[in-house]
Amino acid sequence: MRLEKNHSISLALIDVIDDIYHNLDNDETVVGIYLELHKAFDTVYHNILLYKMYNYGVRDVAYRWFVSYLTNRKQFTCIK
């Protein structure tokens, strides 16, 4: 599921829970991990976060994804 612009995480979770209730047999197990990263990385020093992630064992593709996501990020505001 892709979260559409101007839709909240709460709405997305309600949609997923609704799908689970309507499509789940009684003997099945559902596990989900949901991350909302939109603003999470704007409040920490990226170099420190990457250092800690590497030391805690985040490696390879996952680590490179975070490095790519956190490197050379720009923020701007567009008016009209």
Rg of the Cα trace of the chain? 17
Looking at the predicted structure, is the pLDDT value of residue 56 above 90? Answer: yes
State the average pLDDT over residues 49-73: 91
H helices of the chain, where? 9-23, 46-55, 60-70
**What is the pLDDT confidence band of residue 21, given thresholds at 50, 70 and 90?**
confident
**What is the pLDDT confidence band of residue 20, given thresholds at 50, 70 and 90?**
confident
Top-confidence residue, 37 or 65: 65
Residue type, 77: T
**What is the pLDDT confidence band of residue 2, given thresholds at 50, 70 and 90?**
low
Looking at the predicted structure, is the pLDDT value of residue 69 above 80? Answer: yes
